[in-house]
Amino acid sequence: MPCPTDPALPAAPSSAPPSEFDLIRRHFTRNARHTDLAVGDDAALVRARPGMQLAISTDMLVSGTHFFAGTDPEDLGWKTLAVNVSDLAAMGAEPRWAFLALALPAVDEAWIAAFARGLFACADAFGVDLAGGDTTRGPLNLSLTIVGEVPQGEAVTRAGARPGDDLWISGQPGLAALGLAALRGEVVLNDAGRRHCVAALQRPQPRLALGQALRGL
């Protein structure tokens, strides 16, 4: 992260905002827990553990489509990773590596620092290494690919459902939708209810333990 041939946030004089490489070193470079070579080279080097399959998912969040332009950047950093972790949770996988691609309309270091805090808070909570990615200039767009591991043949897939099966639901469906409606002014909630529902929208909590407990069923 990044590819040095990309025309992304070009280097600038010392009086100008920091370059793409400065931003990556300052905000997105951390010690990796289970990555042989992470941020800073042309590609990451990772190794799957013996007996494991790789589970890979990508989600994109676009300003004005998936989040409001004024969304708190720390919440947005958490959510960008959490929605991908949730995909792995649904398959009973363990998240391991993430690759982040950012399009930024301008270099706003305070915004980037807050976004990185939220992203790494989520990464620390769920044991994910940020292993690479890219940055470029453009309308605010956040794309993240996550790679996880699941024991060979134990992934929980949608193909496992059969007619007549019971449907079990964890948590409380609809909280995030209600939070979105509250932010749009379509419903009025008391303060506690609003905080609870908006938190479900902005800080989703992937159900990793539940997904892994369902392996093999």
The pLDDT assigned to 169 comes to 87
Q: What percentage of the chain carries pLDDT values higher than 70? A: 83
* 3-class DSSP state of 210: helix
CA distance 26 to 199: 28
**What average pLDDT does the chain have?**
84
Which residues neighbour 60 within 8 Å (Cβ) at sequence distance 6 or greater? 66, 141, 142, 143, 144
**Is the pLDDT higher at 7 or at 36?**
36
pTM score: 0.80
Mean pLDDT of all residues in 125-130: 93
Structure tokens at 72: 């708190």
CA distance 31 to 208: 23
Domain ranges of the chain: 19-154, 172-207
The pLDDT assigned to 74 comes to 94
CA distance 97 to 149: 10
Is the pLDDT assigned to residue 12 strictly greater than 50?
A: no
The pLDDT assigned to 9 comes to 46
Query: Per the CATH hierarchy, to which homologous superfamily does domain 19-154 belong?
Result: PurM-like, N-terminal domain (3.30.1330.10)
Is the pLDDT assigned to residue 2 strictly greater than 60?
A: no
